[in-house]
Chain A
Amino acid sequence: MSAFGKIYAIVWKDLLTEVRTKELFGGMFLFALLTIITFNFAFDLTIVNSPDRPAAVAKAASGAGAIWVAFIFAGMLGLGRAVSLERDRGSFDGLLLCPVDRGVIYLGKLAGNLIFIGLVELIAVPVFGALFNLPVLQPALLLVLGLGTLGFAALGTLFSVMAASTRARDVMLPVLLFPISLPVVIGTVRATTMILTHQTGDLIPWLNLLGAFDVIFLTIAFLVFDRVVEE
Protein backbone atom coordinates (compact mmCIF):
# COMPACT_ATOMS: atom_id res chain seq x y z
CA MET A 1 0.00 0.00 0.00
CA SER A 2 1.27 3.46 -0.86
CA ALA A 3 2.10 6.12 1.72
CA PHE A 4 -1.15 7.82 0.75
CA GLY A 5 -3.08 4.62 1.50
CA LYS A 6 -1.49 4.44 4.94
CA ILE A 7 -2.28 8.08 5.67
CA TYR A 8 -5.85 7.30 4.64
CA ALA A 9 -5.93 4.28 6.97
CA ILE A 10 -4.74 6.41 9.92
CA VAL A 11 -7.30 9.12 9.17
CA TRP A 12 -10.07 6.54 8.76
CA LYS A 13 -9.19 5.00 12.09
CA ASP A 14 -9.15 8.40 13.86
CA LEU A 15 -12.43 9.53 12.30
CA LEU A 16 -14.19 6.25 13.04
CA THR A 17 -13.04 6.42 16.65
CA GLU A 18 -14.24 10.01 16.95
CA VAL A 19 -17.62 9.24 15.36
CA ARG A 20 -18.13 6.56 18.00
CA THR A 21 -16.72 8.31 21.06
CA LYS A 22 -17.41 12.00 20.29
CA GLU A 23 -14.59 12.82 22.70
CA LEU A 24 -12.92 15.56 20.67
CA PHE A 25 -15.27 17.37 18.30
CA GLY A 26 -18.02 18.18 20.79
CA GLY A 27 -15.65 19.83 23.26
CA MET A 28 -13.77 21.70 20.56
CA PHE A 29 -16.94 23.01 18.93
CA LEU A 30 -18.58 24.11 22.18
CA PHE A 31 -15.41 25.89 23.26
CA ALA A 32 -15.17 27.75 19.93
CA LEU A 33 -18.85 28.68 20.02
CA LEU A 34 -18.70 29.91 23.60
CA THR A 35 -15.64 32.05 22.86
CA ILE A 36 -17.26 33.67 19.82
CA ILE A 37 -20.49 34.41 21.69
CA THR A 38 -18.63 35.82 24.71
CA PHE A 39 -16.47 38.11 22.60
CA ASN A 40 -19.48 39.25 20.60
CA PHE A 41 -21.26 40.49 23.70
CA ALA A 42 -18.09 42.01 25.14
CA PHE A 43 -17.38 44.03 21.99
CA ASP A 44 -21.00 45.16 21.69
CA LEU A 45 -20.70 46.88 25.02
CA THR A 46 -17.31 48.49 24.61
CA ILE A 47 -16.85 49.57 21.00
CA VAL A 48 -17.36 53.30 20.54
CA ASN A 49 -18.25 54.88 17.20
CA SER A 50 -15.71 57.54 16.22
CA PRO A 51 -15.24 59.43 12.91
CA ASP A 52 -11.74 58.04 12.23
CA ARG A 53 -12.62 54.46 13.33
CA PRO A 54 -16.27 53.52 12.69
CA ALA A 55 -17.79 50.92 15.00
CA ALA A 56 -18.20 48.42 12.15
CA VAL A 57 -14.46 48.54 11.38
CA ALA A 58 -13.52 48.27 15.04
CA LYS A 59 -15.86 45.32 15.45
CA ALA A 60 -14.46 43.58 12.40
CA ALA A 61 -10.92 44.05 13.68
CA SER A 62 -11.84 42.75 17.10
CA GLY A 63 -13.81 39.91 15.56
CA ALA A 64 -10.75 38.71 13.68
CA GLY A 65 -8.97 38.33 16.99
CA ALA A 66 -11.96 36.66 18.60
CA ILE A 67 -12.37 34.02 15.93
CA TRP A 68 -8.68 33.07 16.00
CA VAL A 69 -8.65 32.90 19.79
CA ALA A 70 -11.59 30.50 19.48
CA PHE A 71 -9.92 28.32 16.83
CA ILE A 72 -6.49 28.25 18.44
CA PHE A 73 -7.73 27.27 21.90
CA ALA A 74 -10.31 24.82 20.52
CA GLY A 75 -7.58 23.35 18.30
CA MET A 76 -5.22 23.03 21.22
CA LEU A 77 -7.92 21.30 23.25
CA GLY A 78 -8.40 18.75 20.47
CA LEU A 79 -4.72 18.29 19.64
CA GLY A 80 -3.72 17.61 23.20
CA ARG A 81 -6.60 15.26 23.90
CA ALA A 82 -6.24 13.24 20.69
CA VAL A 83 -2.66 12.21 21.29
CA SER A 84 -2.88 11.78 25.05
CA LEU A 85 -5.80 9.35 24.63
CA GLU A 86 -3.74 7.29 22.21
CA ARG A 87 -0.64 7.43 24.41
CA ASP A 88 -2.59 6.45 27.53
CA ARG A 89 -4.08 3.40 25.84
CA GLY A 90 -0.71 2.37 24.40
CA SER A 91 -2.09 2.30 20.89
CA PHE A 92 0.38 4.95 19.76
CA ASP A 93 3.22 2.46 20.33
CA GLY A 94 1.28 0.00 18.17
CA LEU A 95 1.29 2.61 15.42
CA LEU A 96 5.02 3.21 15.83
CA LEU A 97 5.67 -0.53 15.45
CA CYS A 98 4.17 -0.50 11.95
CA PRO A 99 6.57 -0.64 9.01
CA VAL A 100 5.72 2.87 7.93
CA ASP A 101 7.92 5.93 7.65
CA ARG A 102 7.28 7.95 10.81
CA GLY A 103 6.77 11.01 8.62
CA VAL A 104 3.78 9.21 7.11
CA ILE A 105 2.38 8.65 10.60
CA TYR A 106 2.84 12.38 11.25
CA LEU A 107 0.97 13.26 8.04
CA GLY A 108 -1.84 10.86 8.97
CA LYS A 109 -2.24 12.41 12.40
CA LEU A 110 -2.00 15.91 10.88
CA ALA A 111 -4.69 15.11 8.31
CA GLY A 112 -7.02 13.89 11.07
CA ASN A 113 -6.39 17.03 13.14
CA LEU A 114 -7.01 19.24 10.11
CA ILE A 115 -10.34 17.53 9.52
CA PHE A 116 -11.42 18.01 13.17
CA ILE A 117 -10.37 21.69 13.29
CA GLY A 118 -11.80 22.24 9.80
CA LEU A 119 -15.17 20.85 10.86
CA VAL A 120 -15.22 23.17 13.88
CA GLU A 121 -14.43 26.10 11.57
CA LEU A 122 -17.05 25.02 9.06
CA ILE A 123 -19.79 25.44 11.66
CA ALA A 124 -18.27 28.23 13.76
CA VAL A 125 -17.45 30.64 10.92
CA PRO A 126 -21.09 31.12 9.78
CA VAL A 127 -22.10 31.55 13.43
CA PHE A 128 -19.33 34.14 13.80
CA GLY A 129 -20.52 35.90 10.64
CA ALA A 130 -24.10 36.02 11.86
CA LEU A 131 -23.26 37.22 15.38
CA PHE A 132 -20.74 39.87 14.29
CA ASN A 133 -22.72 40.72 11.14
CA LEU A 134 -19.62 40.33 9.00
CA PRO A 135 -19.25 39.00 5.43
CA VAL A 136 -17.36 35.75 6.09
CA LEU A 137 -18.12 33.94 2.84
CA GLN A 138 -15.16 35.39 0.95
CA PRO A 139 -12.60 33.29 -0.94
CA ALA A 140 -9.75 35.30 0.59
CA LEU A 141 -10.99 34.59 4.11
CA LEU A 142 -11.31 30.89 3.34
CA LEU A 143 -7.73 30.95 2.04
CA VAL A 144 -6.49 32.59 5.25
CA LEU A 145 -8.45 30.09 7.33
CA GLY A 146 -6.86 27.25 5.40
CA LEU A 147 -3.31 28.60 5.62
CA GLY A 148 -3.61 29.54 9.29
CA THR A 149 -5.16 26.22 10.27
CA LEU A 150 -2.52 24.27 8.34
CA GLY A 151 0.37 26.11 10.00
CA PHE A 152 -1.12 25.82 13.46
CA ALA A 153 -2.02 22.13 13.06
CA ALA A 154 1.38 21.29 11.54
CA LEU A 155 3.12 22.55 14.66
CA GLY A 156 0.36 21.43 17.02
CA THR A 157 0.49 17.83 15.83
CA LEU A 158 4.24 17.69 16.40
CA PHE A 159 4.16 19.36 19.81
CA SER A 160 1.13 17.41 21.03
CA VAL A 161 3.11 14.19 20.48
CA MET A 162 6.11 15.68 22.29
CA ALA A 163 3.99 16.96 25.16
CA ALA A 164 2.03 13.70 25.50
CA SER A 165 5.15 11.86 26.63
CA THR A 166 5.86 14.38 29.40
CA ARG A 167 4.36 14.35 32.88
CA ALA A 168 2.93 17.89 32.71
CA ARG A 169 1.54 17.46 29.22
CA ASP A 170 -1.47 19.74 29.66
CA VAL A 171 0.88 22.60 30.51
CA MET A 172 3.62 21.61 28.08
CA LEU A 173 1.55 21.82 24.89
CA PRO A 174 0.68 25.53 25.16
CA VAL A 175 4.15 26.34 26.52
CA LEU A 176 5.78 24.69 23.50
CA LEU A 177 3.23 25.66 20.88
CA PHE A 178 2.41 29.31 21.55
CA PRO A 179 5.85 30.94 21.15
CA ILE A 180 6.72 29.06 17.99
CA SER A 181 3.32 29.41 16.34
CA LEU A 182 3.31 33.17 16.97
CA PRO A 183 4.21 34.11 13.36
CA VAL A 184 1.23 32.10 12.10
CA VAL A 185 -1.10 33.54 14.73
CA ILE A 186 -0.04 37.13 13.99
CA GLY A 187 -0.22 36.53 10.24
CA THR A 188 -3.70 35.03 10.32
CA VAL A 189 -5.13 37.68 12.63
CA ARG A 190 -3.68 40.51 10.54
CA ALA A 191 -4.83 38.98 7.26
CA THR A 192 -8.31 38.23 8.64
CA THR A 193 -8.63 41.80 9.93
CA MET A 194 -7.71 43.20 6.52
CA ILE A 195 -10.28 41.03 4.76
CA LEU A 196 -13.09 41.78 7.21
CA THR A 197 -12.39 45.53 7.13
CA HIS A 198 -12.03 45.53 3.31
CA GLN A 199 -8.50 46.92 3.55
CA THR A 200 -6.87 44.29 1.38
CA GLY A 201 -4.11 46.45 -0.07
CA ASP A 202 -1.39 44.83 2.02
CA LEU A 203 -2.93 41.35 2.11
CA ILE A 204 -0.54 39.60 -0.30
CA PRO A 205 2.60 39.93 1.89
CA TRP A 206 0.70 38.39 4.83
CA LEU A 207 -0.53 35.53 2.65
CA ASN A 208 3.04 34.97 1.45
CA LEU A 209 4.24 34.96 5.06
CA LEU A 210 1.60 32.42 6.05
CA GLY A 211 2.40 30.22 3.06
CA ALA A 212 6.12 30.37 3.81
CA PHE A 213 5.64 29.46 7.47
CA ASP A 214 3.32 26.60 6.51
CA VAL A 215 5.98 25.14 4.23
CA ILE A 216 8.73 25.62 6.84
CA PHE A 217 6.70 24.18 9.73
CA LEU A 218 5.43 21.21 7.69
CA THR A 219 8.90 20.35 6.43
CA ILE A 220 10.56 20.61 9.83
CA ALA A 221 7.80 18.66 11.60
CA PHE A 222 7.85 15.91 8.94
CA LEU A 223 11.63 15.57 9.24
CA VAL A 224 11.93 15.62 13.04
CA PHE A 225 8.88 13.51 13.90
CA ASP A 226 10.95 10.33 13.91
CA ARG A 227 13.23 11.80 16.60
CA VAL A 228 10.34 13.20 18.60
CA VAL A 229 8.62 9.83 19.03
CA GLU A 230 11.82 7.96 19.78
CA GLU A 231 12.73 6.98 23.34
Chain B
Amino acid sequence: MLRAIDMRIEPGERVVLFGSNGAGKTTLLRILATLSRPTKGTLLIDGLTIERDAQAARRRIGVVAHQPYLYDDLTAEENLRFFAKMYDVADQHSRIDEVLDLVGLAARRGDRVRTFSRGMQQRLALARAIVHRPALLLFDEPDTGLDRAGVGVLERILEEQASAGGSVLMTTHDLEFGLRAVDRVLLLDSGRLVLDIPAGSIDADDIAERMSSRS
Protein backbone atom coordinates (compact mmCIF):
# COMPACT_ATOMS: atom_id res chain seq x y z
CA MET B 1 0.00 0.00 0.00
CA LEU B 2 1.27 3.46 -0.89
CA ARG B 3 0.83 6.38 1.46
CA ALA B 4 0.92 10.10 0.71
CA ILE B 5 3.25 9.91 -2.28
CA ASP B 6 3.89 13.43 -3.56
CA MET B 7 6.46 13.66 -6.33
CA ARG B 8 7.21 15.39 -9.60
CA ILE B 9 9.59 14.35 -12.36
CA GLU B 10 10.84 17.11 -14.64
CA PRO B 11 11.46 16.77 -18.40
CA GLY B 12 14.95 15.46 -19.03
CA GLU B 13 15.25 14.08 -15.51
CA ARG B 14 16.25 10.49 -14.73
CA VAL B 15 15.11 9.19 -11.37
CA VAL B 16 15.78 5.90 -9.63
CA LEU B 17 13.44 4.48 -7.03
CA PHE B 18 15.09 2.22 -4.49
CA GLY B 19 13.36 0.18 -1.84
CA SER B 20 13.30 -3.24 -0.21
CA ASN B 21 11.06 -6.02 -1.48
CA GLY B 22 7.46 -5.10 -0.74
CA ALA B 23 8.18 -1.40 -0.29
CA GLY B 24 5.66 -0.55 -3.01
CA LYS B 25 7.94 0.20 -6.00
CA THR B 26 6.06 -1.98 -8.49
CA THR B 27 2.70 -0.75 -7.19
CA LEU B 28 3.79 2.85 -7.71
CA LEU B 29 5.03 2.12 -11.22
CA ARG B 30 1.80 0.29 -12.12
CA ILE B 31 -0.21 3.29 -10.96
CA LEU B 32 1.98 5.65 -12.98
CA ALA B 33 1.64 3.32 -15.98
CA THR B 34 -2.18 3.55 -15.61
CA LEU B 35 -2.48 -0.20 -15.04
CA SER B 36 -3.74 0.30 -11.47
CA ARG B 37 -5.96 3.08 -10.21
CA PRO B 38 -5.02 4.87 -6.98
CA THR B 39 -7.70 4.96 -4.29
CA LYS B 40 -6.91 8.62 -3.70
CA GLY B 41 -4.93 11.39 -5.28
CA THR B 42 -4.18 12.78 -8.71
CA LEU B 43 -1.78 11.55 -11.36
CA LEU B 44 -0.73 14.00 -14.07
CA ILE B 45 1.36 12.89 -17.04
CA ASP B 46 2.55 15.85 -19.06
CA GLY B 47 -0.40 17.75 -17.56
CA LEU B 48 -2.91 15.07 -18.60
CA THR B 49 -5.15 13.21 -16.14
CA ILE B 50 -6.02 9.54 -16.61
CA GLU B 51 -9.69 10.17 -15.92
CA ARG B 52 -10.07 12.62 -18.80
CA ASP B 53 -7.16 11.95 -21.17
CA ALA B 54 -6.27 8.30 -20.68
CA GLN B 55 -5.26 7.61 -24.28
CA ALA B 56 -3.17 10.75 -24.67
CA ALA B 57 -1.46 10.04 -21.35
CA ARG B 58 -0.73 6.42 -22.27
CA ARG B 59 0.79 7.55 -25.57
CA ARG B 60 3.40 9.44 -23.54
CA ILE B 61 4.44 6.43 -21.44
CA GLY B 62 6.84 3.58 -22.21
CA VAL B 63 6.89 0.70 -19.74
CA VAL B 64 9.26 -2.15 -19.00
CA ALA B 65 7.95 -4.39 -16.23
CA HIS B 66 8.83 -7.75 -14.69
CA GLN B 67 7.09 -9.45 -17.60
CA PRO B 68 8.23 -8.40 -21.09
CA TYR B 69 4.70 -7.73 -22.44
CA LEU B 70 5.62 -9.54 -25.65
CA TYR B 71 3.94 -12.24 -27.71
CA ASP B 72 6.07 -15.37 -27.63
CA ASP B 73 4.88 -16.74 -30.95
CA LEU B 74 5.37 -13.55 -32.95
CA THR B 75 8.80 -12.57 -34.20
CA ALA B 76 10.71 -9.63 -32.74
CA GLU B 77 9.76 -7.52 -35.75
CA GLU B 78 6.09 -8.59 -35.66
CA ASN B 79 5.89 -7.67 -31.98
CA LEU B 80 7.32 -4.22 -32.64
CA ARG B 81 5.12 -3.72 -35.70
CA PHE B 82 2.04 -4.61 -33.65
CA PHE B 83 2.89 -2.12 -30.92
CA ALA B 84 3.95 0.53 -33.44
CA LYS B 85 0.49 0.22 -35.02
CA MET B 86 -1.25 0.42 -31.67
CA TYR B 87 0.75 3.57 -30.80
CA ASP B 88 0.26 5.15 -34.26
CA VAL B 89 3.99 5.42 -34.91
CA ALA B 90 4.31 7.43 -38.13
CA ASP B 91 7.54 6.03 -39.60
CA GLN B 92 7.03 2.43 -38.51
CA HIS B 93 9.57 0.67 -40.73
CA SER B 94 12.48 3.01 -40.09
CA ARG B 95 11.66 3.31 -36.38
CA ILE B 96 11.53 -0.49 -35.96
CA ASP B 97 14.89 -0.79 -37.76
CA GLU B 98 16.27 1.93 -35.49
CA VAL B 99 15.21 0.37 -32.17
CA LEU B 100 16.23 -3.14 -33.25
CA ASP B 101 19.68 -1.78 -34.09
CA LEU B 102 19.81 0.07 -30.79
CA VAL B 103 19.09 -3.04 -28.70
CA GLY B 104 21.31 -5.25 -30.86
CA LEU B 105 18.58 -7.56 -32.17
CA ALA B 106 18.54 -6.58 -35.85
CA ALA B 107 20.00 -9.95 -36.84
CA ARG B 108 17.28 -11.80 -34.91
CA ARG B 109 14.35 -9.67 -36.11
CA GLY B 110 12.70 -12.61 -37.89
CA ASP B 111 12.97 -15.04 -34.98
CA ARG B 112 10.13 -15.81 -32.62
CA VAL B 113 10.40 -14.37 -29.14
CA ARG B 114 9.90 -17.89 -27.75
CA THR B 115 13.41 -18.74 -29.00
CA PHE B 116 15.02 -15.77 -27.24
CA SER B 117 17.00 -15.95 -24.00
CA ARG B 118 15.77 -13.96 -20.99
CA GLY B 119 18.28 -11.22 -21.73
CA MET B 120 17.24 -10.98 -25.38
CA GLN B 121 13.59 -10.79 -24.37
CA GLN B 122 14.49 -7.96 -22.00
CA ARG B 123 16.28 -6.12 -24.81
CA LEU B 124 13.21 -6.51 -27.00
CA ALA B 125 11.02 -5.31 -24.14
CA LEU B 126 13.19 -2.17 -24.02
CA ALA B 127 12.72 -1.74 -27.78
CA ARG B 128 8.95 -2.16 -27.38
CA ALA B 129 8.88 0.44 -24.61
CA ILE B 130 10.63 3.12 -26.68
CA VAL B 131 9.30 2.37 -30.18
CA HIS B 132 6.74 5.19 -29.91
CA ARG B 133 9.24 7.72 -28.49
CA PRO B 134 7.49 8.19 -25.13
CA ALA B 135 8.05 11.27 -22.98
CA LEU B 136 8.21 9.19 -19.79
CA LEU B 137 9.94 5.85 -19.37
CA LEU B 138 8.78 3.70 -16.47
CA PHE B 139 11.26 0.87 -16.01
CA ASP B 140 10.74 -1.73 -13.28
CA GLU B 141 14.08 -3.51 -12.79
CA PRO B 142 15.03 -3.10 -16.47
CA ASP B 143 18.49 -4.59 -15.88
CA THR B 144 17.03 -7.99 -14.96
CA GLY B 145 18.56 -10.70 -17.14
CA LEU B 146 20.80 -8.30 -19.04
CA ASP B 147 24.48 -9.07 -19.56
CA ARG B 148 27.10 -6.29 -19.51
CA ALA B 149 26.45 -5.39 -23.12
CA GLY B 150 22.74 -5.32 -22.38
CA VAL B 151 23.25 -2.97 -19.44
CA GLY B 152 25.27 -0.78 -21.82
CA VAL B 153 22.27 -0.69 -24.18
CA LEU B 154 20.03 0.24 -21.26
CA GLU B 155 22.33 3.05 -20.18
CA ARG B 156 22.39 4.39 -23.72
CA ILE B 157 18.58 4.37 -23.86
CA LEU B 158 18.44 6.28 -20.57
CA GLU B 159 20.97 8.84 -21.81
CA GLU B 160 19.18 9.33 -25.13
CA GLN B 161 15.87 9.72 -23.33
CA ALA B 162 17.24 12.49 -21.11
CA SER B 163 19.06 14.26 -23.95
CA ALA B 164 15.82 14.25 -25.96
CA GLY B 165 14.07 15.99 -23.05
CA GLY B 166 12.25 12.87 -21.88
CA SER B 167 12.00 11.62 -18.32
CA VAL B 168 12.80 8.31 -16.66
CA LEU B 169 11.62 6.66 -13.46
CA MET B 170 13.13 3.26 -12.83
CA THR B 171 13.59 0.76 -10.05
CA THR B 172 16.55 -1.55 -9.62
CA HIS B 173 18.20 -3.65 -6.95
CA ASP B 174 21.62 -2.91 -8.46
CA LEU B 175 22.49 0.17 -6.40
CA GLU B 176 25.72 0.94 -8.28
CA PHE B 177 23.98 0.84 -11.65
CA GLY B 178 21.03 2.83 -10.34
CA LEU B 179 23.20 5.63 -8.97
CA ARG B 180 25.35 5.71 -12.11
CA ALA B 181 22.45 5.97 -14.54
CA VAL B 182 20.32 8.72 -12.97
CA ASP B 183 20.22 12.29 -11.68
CA ARG B 184 17.98 11.82 -8.64
CA VAL B 185 17.37 9.13 -6.03
CA LEU B 186 14.14 8.26 -4.26
CA LEU B 187 13.85 5.73 -1.46
CA LEU B 188 10.53 4.05 -0.77
CA ASP B 189 9.86 2.36 2.54
CA SER B 190 6.57 0.69 3.49
CA GLY B 191 4.74 2.71 0.88
CA ARG B 192 6.20 6.09 1.90
CA LEU B 193 8.82 8.19 0.17
CA VAL B 194 11.52 8.65 2.81
CA LEU B 195 14.35 10.07 0.73
CA ASP B 196 14.56 12.36 -2.29
CA ILE B 197 18.06 13.65 -3.08
CA PRO B 198 20.41 14.23 -6.07
CA ALA B 199 22.26 11.09 -7.18
CA GLY B 200 25.71 12.63 -6.64
CA SER B 201 25.07 13.31 -2.97
CA ILE B 202 24.79 9.68 -1.85
CA ASP B 203 26.67 6.45 -2.49
CA ALA B 204 25.58 2.81 -2.76
CA ASP B 205 26.77 1.90 0.75
CA ASP B 206 24.73 4.71 2.26
CA ILE B 207 21.63 3.62 0.34
CA ALA B 208 22.15 0.00 1.37
CA GLU B 209 22.54 1.05 5.02
CA ARG B 210 19.36 3.12 4.93
CA MET B 211 17.46 0.24 3.32
CA SER B 212 18.71 -2.33 5.83
CA SER B 213 18.02 -0.10 8.81
CA ARG B 214 14.40 0.23 7.73
CA SER B 215 13.76 -3.38 6.78
- A17 and B87 contacting across the interface, CB-CB below 8 Å: no
- With both chains docked as a complex, state the minimum distance between the C-beta of A228 and any C-beta of chain B, in angstroms: 13
Residue in A21, A98, A99, A231 with the greatest tally of chain B CB atoms within 10 Å: A99
The 0/1 profile, CB within 8 Å of B marked 1, for residues 4-41 of chain A is 01100100110011001100000000000000000000
- B70 and A91 contacting across the interface, CB-CB below 8 Å: yes
Which of B55-63, B93-101, B155-163 lies at the interface? B55-63
Residues of A within 8 Å of B56, CB to CB, are 99
Q: How far is the CA of A5 from the CA of B72 in the complex (A)?
A: 23
The 0/1 profile, CB within 8 Å of A marked 1, for residues 70-84 of chain B is 111110001000110
Residue B74 contacts which of A13, A95, A101 (CB distance < 8 angstroms)? A13
In the complex, whether A119 has a CB less than 8 A from a CB of chain B is no
Residues of A within 8 Å of B126, CB to CB, are none
In the complex, whether A94 has a CB less than 8 A from a CB of chain B is yes
- B36 and A94 contacting across the interface, CB-CB below 8 Å: no
Residue B82 contacts which of A9, A89, A96 (CB distance < 8 angstroms)? A9
The 0/1 profile, CB within 8 Å of A marked 1, for residues 180-205 of chain B is 00000000000000000000000000
- B82 and A13 contacting across the interface, CB-CB below 8 Å: yes
Q: How far is the CA of A97 from the CA of B131 in the complex (A)?
A: 13
- A97 and B35 contacting across the interface, CB-CB below 8 Å: yes
Given A6-B86, A9-B82, A97-B58, A231 contacting B65 (CB threshold 8 A): no
Residue of B nearest to A94 (CB): B69
In the complex, whether B17 has a CB less than 8 A from a CB of chain A is no
- B86 and A90 contacting across the interface, CB-CB below 8 Å: no
- With both chains docked as a complex, state the minimum distance between the C-beta of B181 and any C-beta of chain A, in angstroms: 23
- A99 and B87 contacting across the interface, CB-CB below 8 Å: yes
Given A6-B85, A96-B35, A89 contacting B55 (CB threshold 8 A): no
- B71 and A99 contacting across the interface, CB-CB below 8 Å: no
Residues of A within 8 Å of B86, CB to CB, are 6, 9, 95, 98-100
Number of interface residues, chain B, beta carbon within 8 A: 32
In the complex, whether A52 has a CB less than 8 A from a CB of chain B is no
- A230 and B83 contacting across the interface, CB-CB below 8 Å: no
- B69 and A17 contacting across the interface, CB-CB below 8 Å: no
Interface size class of A (residues with CB under 8 A): 20 to 34
Residue B67 contacts which of A20, A90, A95 (CB distance < 8 angstroms)? A90
Residues of B within 8 Å of A100, CB to CB, are 55, 86
The 0/1 profile, CB within 8 Å of B marked 1, for residues 65-97 of chain A is 000000000000000000000000111011111
- With both chains docked as a complex, state the minimum distance between the C-beta of A15 and any C-beta of chain B, in angstroms: 11
- B82 and A101 contacting across the interface, CB-CB below 8 Å: no
Residue of A nearest to B69 (CB): A94
- A21 and B65 contacting across the interface, CB-CB below 8 Å: no
- B85 and A1 contacting across the interface, CB-CB below 8 Å: yes
Q: How far is the CA of A173 from the CA of B86 in the complex (A)?
A: 28
The 0/1 profile, CB within 8 Å of B marked 1, for residues 92-116 of chain A is 0111111111000000000000000
- With both chains docked as a complex, state the minimum distance between the C-beta of A189 and any C-beta of chain B, in angstroms: 36
- B85 and A94 contacting across the interface, CB-CB below 8 Å: no
Given A5-B85, A230-B37, A231-B37, A98 contacting B73 (CB threshold 8 A): no
Residues of B within 8 Å of A5, CB to CB, are 85
Residues of A within 8 Å of B70, CB to CB, are 89, 91, 94
Q: List 18 A-B contacts (CB under 8 A).
A: A1-B85, A9-B85, A9-B86, A12-B82, A16-B73, A16-B78, A20-B112, A89-B67, A89-B72, A91-B70, A97-B33, A97-B61, A98-B83, A98-B87, A99-B58, A101-B55, A231-B35, A231-B37
Binding site for B on A (CB under 8 A): 1, 5-6, 9, 12-13, 16-17, 20-21, 89-91, 93-101, 230-231
Beyond the given pairs A1-B88, A5-B85, A99-B59, 19 more chain A to chain B contacts, judged by CB atoms under 8 angstroms and listed by A's residue number, are A9-B85, A13-B71, A16-B74, A17-B71, A20-B112, A89-B71, A93-B69, A94-B83, A97-B58, A97-B63, A98-B58, A98-B86, A98-B87, A99-B55, A99-B56, A99-B88, A100-B86, A230-B36, A231-B36
Binding site for A on B (CB under 8 A): 30, 33-37, 54-56, 58-59, 61, 63, 65-74, 78, 82-83, 85-88, 112, 128
6 nearest interchain CB pairs?
A: A90-B67, A94-B69, A99-B59, A98-B86, A99-B58, A231-B36
